[in-house]
């Protein structure tokens, strides 16, 4: 189709150098950015709590409680109506599965519902942007699903056994969550560390040649669920940029903060981890070359120019749908104005102050390898209505 | 998603084809009453409701002003100035009806939670019903509804269904549902007719083989594009008629067709998967399922009309899954 015919229908993120990044590519990039932030956060957790089981149980507990609190009966009833789930579909058996499936697809966890019956649901994923985070997160998602099922239980009892019997975060080719009704399969109530068992009934393993690399919203421009209701790609992008931070950052953060002996200890370790991630992001010289190509940086922008970092940050904010504006963009400094509450509160109900701390430390250290050690990144006005992200020269005799 | 080797789904599917099976499936139900009910319903639907006497029912579609399908329903004339509309979208139906009442003496009410429905489907379903009910269903015509009694409970029996087999629907008050279900279970057990527990068997596998589509498959198309021209009565007025007449003159832009998926399975095909012809998008999938009678992966797709040629080869989705366009009925 001629460009002229597409101008009204195809959206792009424009880099500061005019390179157009298609909306779908921007979405994929942004989703992976959230997963990257989550991966850093989980490293903080591993330092604070060396015991795998203890830390996994802690984040499962908190994510279960938060999901129960966030998704009350009214919320779930609205979901039932919104998705036109027929009256005969018993909420206790079906709602959790539909809820989980739609969330997966909004977040580009590409796969399929293998089985969807009153007594058993099997969901299989071929890809997951969060597969870099690690096994604790895979366990945690079953805790969240447990909340979805329990919320719809008519007697308040846990009626479903949930197992993530395969997980890409554990190295498996697929993620696979199976829900089996406990009464039907004679299964005991599970503890948080029991959710990676094999299900009773055999699973269906999709062959490689039938696998998918992208979710429905990328492949087909929309997510279509079993009862024919649809959500557009644009809707899902927005949803993901708001709520994608909640389950994998805001919820576990509550537990991870509690693992530290003090607020100061948490912040110290948090900053060290994000600083390390930042320093390593552009350690390889060809990574900078790739970024220049990706963002369309012209040759007259040299290798020691703060606009490299500024353009990169602008692109991250734009793809994450955070409104921002360039205030300065010269060879001496870059200043980006951003609405503080929007930056921290992508989902207003669950603001995350650590986004400010994390990105400031991450980018301050990233600029050292992306541009040079002469440059720093810092945020001003963190407590004001607008925050200013600076990239500039700074000398600090105790710089870390 | 159903697979060839799913023994449970296969057994339930074949029970309906060869014997009988039963399930609880309550569509949303809307009660329409009032002295203008008949006239009102006649305006909402493309079918002639005025020619549907008490005790008869009619499959028909509801269009928007653009002549595009927004719902497909069974309209049941259950009494004087009293209709039941069986739809999957009661809230949407109520909103649409409210917007088109124009002062008519008519009231619409969602009675979904008040009425339960069970279905008995399969060639032996008549025998099963006769064994359970106070009055024989032998004289009950297709798309007819009549009062009856099941285990001392007043019920309505509707000869209809969504499997393409002889079948009956049993409507009862919600408070009687346990009694009805117990009687039904007992009656069906004596004929070795199982309860169907796999939704996709009775919503997709069985109906698709017979060419029965859901509203979601037809949504946004004209009845002509869906092969439902026979149901349109242009000799009366209805919402969307003007646009529909124009669309008929211009010819269909799309067609709802059958697709046979030629790969062993279809895990990579979602409901809106894109269909390609020679690598060029030409439509999208509406359904994909395994048909245990025809032993094929089958479904529906919406294809650009000029490319919707039976026998044409296409590919589906990101893995170029081969498929062929067919008529949308396999049995």
* Stretch(es) of chain A classified as CATH 3.30.1380: 1-21+28-48+262-400, 49-252
Closest-CA residue of A relative to B113 is A87
Chain A residues within an 8 Å CB radius of B3:
204
Mean pLDDT, residues A289-305 taken together: 97
Instruction: Say if residue A82's pLDDT is above 90.
Output: no
Q: What pLDDT, on a 0 to 100 scale, did the predictor assign at position A229? A: 82
CB contact under 8 A, B317 and A219: yes
Q: What pLDDT, on a 0 to 100 scale, did the predictor assign at position A96? A: 63
| Cα B201 to Cα B185: distance, rounded to the nearest angstrom | 19
Task: State how far residue A85 is from chain B, nearest Cα, in angstroms.
Answer: 9
Q: How far is CA A2 from CA A5, A6, A8, A276, in A?
A: 5, 7, 12, 46
CB contact under 8 A, B88 and A227: yes
CB contact under 8 A, B28 and A220: no
Choose the mutation target among B12, B13, B271 for the interface with A, i.e. most A CBs under 10 Å.
Answer: B271
Chain A residues within an 8 Å CB radius of B24:
88
Instruction: Say if residue A345's pLDDT is above 90.
Output: no
With cut-offs at 50, 70 and 90, classify the pLDDT of residue A6: low
Give the tens place of pLDDT for each residue, A185-211: 999 999 999 999 999 999 999 999 999
| Crossing angle for the helix pair A233-245 and A23-48, to the nearest 10 degrees | 20
Is residue B26 within 8 A of residue B115, CB to CB? The reply is yes
Instruction: Say if residue A70's pLDDT is above 80.
Output: no
Q: Which CATH architecture has domain A49-252?
A: 2-Layer Sandwich (3.30)
A-contacting residues in B 199-238 (Cβ below 8 Å): 199-200, 214-217, 219
Closest-CA residue of A relative to B87 is A86
Spacing of C-alpha B99 from chain mean position: 25
Whether residue B154 lies within 8 A of chain A, CB to CB, comes out as: no
Task: State how far residue B39 is from chain A, nearest Cα, in angstroms.
Answer: 29
Q: In chain B, what are the domains?
A: 20-26+114-192 (3.30.1360.120), 28-110 (3.30.70.1400), 216-326 (2.40.30.110)
CB contact under 8 A, A112 and B270: yes
Task: Please name the member of A81, A118, A204 whose beta carbon is closest to the beta carbon of B3.
Answer: A204
| Cα A365 to Cα A40: distance, rounded to the nearest angstrom | 14
Task: State how far residue A72 is from chain B, nearest Cα, in angstroms.
Answer: 22
Interface list for chain A against chain B, based on CB atoms closer than 8 Å: 81, 84, 86-89, 112-119, 124, 204, 206-207, 209-214, 216, 219-222, 224-225, 227-230
Task: Please name the member of B88, B318, B319 whose beta carbon is closest to the beta carbon of A84.
Answer: B88
Supply the DSSP string of A274-301, one letter for each residue: HHHHHHHHT-SHHHHHHHHHHHT--TTS
Span of A64-68, A227-231, B256-260 with lowest mean pLDDT: A227-231
Burial (Cβ within 10 Å: 0-12, 13-18, ≥19) of residue B113: exposed
Task: Please name the member of A212, A220, A228 whose beta carbon is closest to the beta carbon of B274.
Answer: A220
With cut-offs at 50, 70 and 90, classify the pLDDT of residue A166: very high
Whether residue B27 lies within 8 A of chain A, CB to CB, comes out as: yes
CA angle, corner A72, sides to A69 and A73, nearest 5?
Answer: 155
Whether residue B26 lies within 8 A of chain A, CB to CB, comes out as: yes
Q: What pLDDT, on a 0 to 100 scale, did the predictor assign at position A102? A: 87
With cut-offs at 50, 70 and 90, classify the pLDDT of residue A3: low
With cut-offs at 50, 70 and 90, classify the pLDDT of residue A110: very high
Residue pairs between chains A and B whose CB atoms are closer than 8 Å: 85
Burial (Cβ within 10 Å: 0-12, 13-18, ≥19) of residue B110: middle
Choose the mutation target among A83, A210, A211 for the interface with B, i.e. most B CBs under 10 Å.
Answer: A210
Helix (H, G, I), strand (E, B) or coil at A307: helix
Which runs of E-coded beta strand occur in chain A? Answer: 12-14, 20-22, 111-116, 120-125, 160-166, 175-181, 222-224, 230-232, 324-329, 334-339, 375-380, 386-393
| Cα A68 to Cα A145: distance, rounded to the nearest angstrom | 10
Residue, of A83 and A103, whose pLDDT is higher: A103
Chain A residues within an 8 Å CB radius of B263:
210
Q: What pLDDT, on a 0 to 100 scale, did the predictor assign at position A87? A: 61
Q: What pLDDT, on a 0 to 100 scale, did the predictor assign at position A148? A: 80
Q: How far is CA B29 from CA A37, A218, B86, B134, B149, in A?
A: 48, 36, 5, 25, 21
Task: State how far residue B29 is from chain A, nearest Cα, in angstroms.
Answer: 10
% of chain A exceeding 90 in pLDDT = 74
Instruction: Say if residue A7's pLDDT is above 80.
Output: no
Q: What pLDDT, on a 0 to 100 scale, did the predictor assign at position A144? A: 87
Residue identified by tokens 């008929």 is B248
CB contact under 8 A, B266 and A115: no
CB contact under 8 A, A86 and B215: no
Whether residue B304 lies within 8 A of chain A, CB to CB, comes out as: no
Closest-CA residue of A relative to B318 is A212
| Cα B125 to Cα B102: distance, rounded to the nearest angstrom | 43
Spacing of C-alpha B262 from chain mean position: 26
| Cα B316 to Cα B268: distance, rounded to the nearest angstrom | 9
Q: What pLDDT, on a 0 to 100 scale, did the predictor assign at position A278? A: 98
A-contacting residues in B 72-111 (Cβ below 8 Å): 88-89, 91
Choose the mutation target among A83, A121, A224 for the interface with B, i.e. most B CBs under 10 Å.
Answer: A224
Instruction: Say if residue A1's pLDDT is above 60.
Output: no
pLDDT along chain B (331 residues), means of 10: 94 98 89 97 96 96 97 96 94 95 95 94 98 97 97 96 95 96 97 93 96 95 96 96 97 97 95 95 96 98 98 97 97 94
Closest CA to A320 of A302, A334, A339, A304: A339
Q: Which helix (H) or strand (E) holds A206?
A: none
Adjacent-strand bridge partners of A324: A338
Task: Please name the member of A118, A204, A225 whose beta carbon is closest to the beta carbon of B197.
Answer: A118
A1-21+28-48+262-400 fold = Muramoyl-pentapeptide Carboxypeptidase; domain 2 (3.30.1380)
Closest-CA residue of A relative to B215 is A228
pTM (global) more than 0.80: yes
CB contact under 8 A, B24 and A88: yes
Chain A residues within an 8 Å CB radius of B95:
none
């Amino acid at each position: 189709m001629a460009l002229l015919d597409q101008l009204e229908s195809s959206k792009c993120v424009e880099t500061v150098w005019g390179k157009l990044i298609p909306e779908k590519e921007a979405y994929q990039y942004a989703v992976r950015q959230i997963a990257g932030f989550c991966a850093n956060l989980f490293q903080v957790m591993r330092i604070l709590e060396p015991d795998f089981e203890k830390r996994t149980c802690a984040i499962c507990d908190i994510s279960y409680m938060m999901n129960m609190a966030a998704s009350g009966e009214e919320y779930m009833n609205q979901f039932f109506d919104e998705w036109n789930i027929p009256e005969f579909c018993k909420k206790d058996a079906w709602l959790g599965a539909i809820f989980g499936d739609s969330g997966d697809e909004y977040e580009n966890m590409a796969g399929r519902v293998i089985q969807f019956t009153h007594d058993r649901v099997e969901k299989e994923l071929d890809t997951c942007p969060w597969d870099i985070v690690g096994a604790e997160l895979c366990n945690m998602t079953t805790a969240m699903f447990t909340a979805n099922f329990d919320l719809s239980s008519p007697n308040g009892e846990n009626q479903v056994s949930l197992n993530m019997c395969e997980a890409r975060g554990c190295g498996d080719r697929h993620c696979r969550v199976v829900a089996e009704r406990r009464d039907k399969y004679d299964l005991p109530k599970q503890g948080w560390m029991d959710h990676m068992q094999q299900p009773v009934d055999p699973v269906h393993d999709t062959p490689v040649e039938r696998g998918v690399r992208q979710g429905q919203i990328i492949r087909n421009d929309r997510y279509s669920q079993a009862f024919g209701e649809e959500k557009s790609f644009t809707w899902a992008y927005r949803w993901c940029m708001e709520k994608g931070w909640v389950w994998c950052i805001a919820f576990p953060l509550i537990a991870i903060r509690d693992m530290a002996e003090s607020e100061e200890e948490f912040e110290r370790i948090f900053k060290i981890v994000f600083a390390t991630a930042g320093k390593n992001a552009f350690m390889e010289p060809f990574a900078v070359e790739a970024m220049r190509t990706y963002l369309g940086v012209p040759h007259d922008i040299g290798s020691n120019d703060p606009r490299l970092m500024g353009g990169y940050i602008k692109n991250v904010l734009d793809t994450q749908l955070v409104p921002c504006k360039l205030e300065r963009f010269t060879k001496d400094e870059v200043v980006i104005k951003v609405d503080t509450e929007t930056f921290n509160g992508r989902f207003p109900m669950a603001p995350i102050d650590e986004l400010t701390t994390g990105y400031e430390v991450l980018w301050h250290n990233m600029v050292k390898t992306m541009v040079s050690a002469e440059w720093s990144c810092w945020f001003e006005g963190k407590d004001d209505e607008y925050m200013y992200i600076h990239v500039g020269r700074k000398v600090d005799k105790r710089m870390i | 998603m159903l697979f060839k080797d799913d023994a449970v789904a296969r057994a339930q599917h074949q029970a309906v084809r060869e014997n009988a099976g039963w399930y609880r499936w309550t569509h949303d139900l809307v009660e329409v009453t009032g002295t203008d009910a008949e006239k009102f319903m006649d305006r909402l639907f493309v079918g002639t409701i005025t020619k549907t006497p008490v005790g008869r029912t009619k499959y028909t579609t509801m269009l928007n002003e653009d002549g595009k399908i927004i719902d497909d329903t069974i309209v049941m004339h259950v009494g004087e100035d009293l209709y039941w509309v069986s739809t999957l979208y009661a809230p949407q139906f109520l909103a649409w009806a409210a917007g088109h009442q124009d002062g008519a003496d008519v009231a619409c009410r969602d009675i979904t939670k008040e009425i339960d429905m069970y279905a008995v489907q399969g060639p032996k379903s008549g025998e099963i019903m006769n064994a359970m009910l106070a009055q024989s269903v032998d004289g009950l015509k297709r798309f007819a509804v009549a009062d009856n009694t099941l285990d001392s409970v007043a019920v309505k029996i509707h000869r209809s269904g969504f499997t393409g087999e002889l079948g009956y629907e049993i409507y009862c008050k919600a408070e009687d549902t346990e009694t009805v279900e117990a009687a039904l279970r007992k009656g069906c057990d004596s004929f070795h007719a199982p309860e169907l527990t796999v939704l996709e068997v009775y919503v997709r596998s069985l109906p698709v083989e017979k060419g029965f589509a859901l509203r979601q498959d037809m949504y946004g198309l004209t009845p002509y594009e869906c092969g439902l021209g026979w149901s349109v009565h242009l000799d009366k007025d209805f919402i969307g008629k003007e646009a529909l007449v124009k669309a008929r003159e211009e010819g269909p832009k799309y067609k709802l067709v059958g697709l046979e998926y030629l790969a062993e399975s279809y895990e990579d095909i979602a409901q809106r998967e894109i269909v390609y012809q020679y690598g060029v998008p030409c439509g999208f999938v509406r359904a994909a399922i395994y048909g245990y009678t025809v032993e094929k992966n089958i479904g529906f797709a919406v294809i650009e009309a000029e490319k919707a040629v039976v026998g044409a080869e296409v590919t589906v989705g990101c893995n170029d899954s081969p498929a062929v366009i067919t008529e949308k009925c396999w049995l």
